[in-house]
Amino acid sequence: MNQTVNKKDSLLNDFICTVTFICSLMVVGIHQYNAGTLDEISVTALFEGFLAHGIFISAVPCFFILSGFLFFRNTGKINDVYKKQIKRIKSVLIPFLVWSCFYCMLNYAKKFVTGENIVFSPIYFIKEIVFYIHCFSLWYMFQLIVYIVLAPAIFLILKSKKISFILLILLCFIGLVYTPVISISVCGNERALFQVSFFAYYFLGCFAAKYFEPKKLINIAEKIPMSVYIYFWYYLELYSL
């Protein structure tokens, strides 16, 4: 029995590692786009744009799905949720704050070296860090932190398969068609507090962790042709970003 469980866990871990590795390469591809502006039409620009601004963008939803799946995998009790929230403080919250603070300090160092006027305020400094003013790429971790905070509420919703499924459908429809974003203006920058479209991906992972066997998910993923994945993700990203 233990060998069977270990084999399933090993199979799932290998699958997740493979997907994570591929998605990581895709994220690198997004940020390596250098084909020029849209008015510079060429075969290279069109191909690179199709990859970097189309197919590769699907890596972000995949990471949200995996994050939701891994968080709610093996969470049978509310105490399991609290324990995972505490673990995420070390693996998500602290790295987020450290990197945001680092870039914030770099900005102050730049102003000091260039002789720009530096106006320091503790409250403003905290806002700069919390809302990643000087490192926009931290938006993903910020959204993830918001979803982790909502984990107890998500756990209660997941107790009912019917309610969870209905909510998932609503999130997909609202998030991917209307793409609503709850945002605020901080330090002269617009920052999203809650992105419904990406929460839909995250909740999909939560739902899969709760109601699907890992082996069944892997079998489904392996049987669907890659061309279907490409079309599906490209279509969703075309309307969700």
pLDDT tens sequence across 96-125: 999 999 999 999 999 888 888 887 888 999
Paired strand residues for 185 = 190
- Contact assessment for residue 200 and residue 171, using Cβ atoms and an 8 Å cutoff: yes
Lowest mean pLDDT among 46-50, 130-134, 153-157: 46-50
Report residue 232's pLDDT band, with 50, 70 and 90 as the boundaries.
low
Q: Where does residue 234 rank: exposed (0-12), middle (13-18), buried (19+ CB within 10 A)?
A: middle
- pLDDT of 155 above 90: yes
Distance CA 199, CA 212 (A): 19
- pLDDT at position 36 is 55
Higher confidence at residue 36 or residue 45? 45
Lowest mean pLDDT among 52-56, 194-198, 199-203, 230-234: 230-234
Mean pLDDT of 205-217: 82
Report residue 12's pLDDT band, with 50, 70 and 90 as the boundaries.
confident
Whole-number mean pLDDT of the chain?
81
Q: Which two tokens stand for residue 165?
A: 């499924």
Lowest mean pLDDT among 30-39, 50-59, 71-80, 226-235: 226-235
Neighbours of 229 (CB within 10 A): 14
Q: What residues does each domain of the chain span?
A: 2-240
Mean pLDDT of 217-236: 55
Q: Of all residues in the chain, what percent carry a pLDDT higher than 90?
A: 44
Report residue 142's pLDDT band, with 50, 70 and 90 as the boundaries.
very high
